[in-house]
Amino acid sequence: MDKGRMEAFSDGVIAIIITIMVLGITAPEGDRLADLLGLLPAIAAYAVSFIGVGTYWNNHHHLLKLVNRVSGRMLWSNLAFLFVLSFFPLATDWMQKTGFAALPTTCYVVVNMLVSLTYMNLERVIRRDLSQSCPPNPANEREAERRAMVEKRSLLKERLTLGLEVVGLVIALVLPSSHLALVALVIAFLLWIVPDLRIVRLLDFLAEEEG
């Protein structure tokens, strides 16, 4: 199985998911300012989801760079990730149509968590395959150190993400204004949006402290 076609298929599915979300915003009947303002929650929800799916697309792309040969396990891990990602439009729609009510917002956060978990699973599968196909050179200490470093950092980032999602979950379930849960999600996206700037350095620092 060649990697190019798995990339192309994933890109196609993600491009469609990110674009059909806008179909969930229906044009209002009236033509007054109130009608336009009525669209704002839908647009806000769409914007958050767009950033989310865009971030996953970007990271997914980087991840697939590590792949040499596609195994059956990898293929199905990828499909599992795409499957839960495809619930973004529905979850966004429900949350926005019910005015960010508690249960729909909780479901939105849960979809985010499932996407994170399937993504992390995919990462694990790809990493394991990589360390089997090109094992670290035991003689090269520096390389081994770097690998360990990257893995530690990546693990920290994943824990932070899951932590933020749990915070989002609690907000959505407990607070009366559950739409604040989206703030936690957006912070989680930011961890992955600017991986090579401030956050990376922060994570490096934290990882050094921890290690």
Taking the CB of residue 90, how many other CB atoms lie within 10 A of it? 14
Binding span for its own copies by CB under 8 A among 100-108, 155-163, 180-188, 202-210: 100-108
Q: What minimum distance in Å lies between the beta carbon of 19 and its own copies?
A: 4
Burial (0-12, 13-18, 19+ Cβ within 10 Å), 112: buried
Q: Residue 64 and residue 82: Cα distance in Å, rounded?
A: 14
Q: Residue 109 and residue 23: Cα distance in Å, rounded?
A: 21
Residue 63 lies near its own copies (rule: CB under 8 A): no
Closer residue to its own copies in complex, CB, 101/186: 101
**Of the residues 44, 107, 187, 190, which one makes contact with its own copies according to CB under 8 A:** 107
Q: First-to-last CA distance in the chain?
A: 39
**Of the residues 41, 44, 63, 75, which one makes contact with its own copies according to CB under 8 A:** 75
Question: Nearest-CA neighbor of 70 among 6, 8, 18, 128?
Answer: 6
**Of the residues 3, 9, 44, 127, which one makes contact with its own copies according to CB under 8 A:** 9
Residues 188, 171 contacting (CB under 8 angstroms): no
**Of the residues 30, 135, 138, 176, which one makes contact with its own copies according to CB under 8 A:** 30
**Of the residues 44, 63, 79, 117, which one makes contact with its own copies according to CB under 8 A:** 79
Q: Which of residues 142-201 bind its own copies (CB under 8 A)?
A: 193-197
In the DSSP assignment, the letter for residue 151 is H
Structure tokens at 210: 């921890």
Binding site for its own copies (CB under 8 A): 1, 5, 7-9, 11-20, 22-25, 27-33, 35-36, 47, 50, 54, 57-58, 61-62, 72, 75-76, 79, 83, 86-87, 89-90, 93-94, 97-98, 101-104, 107, 193-197
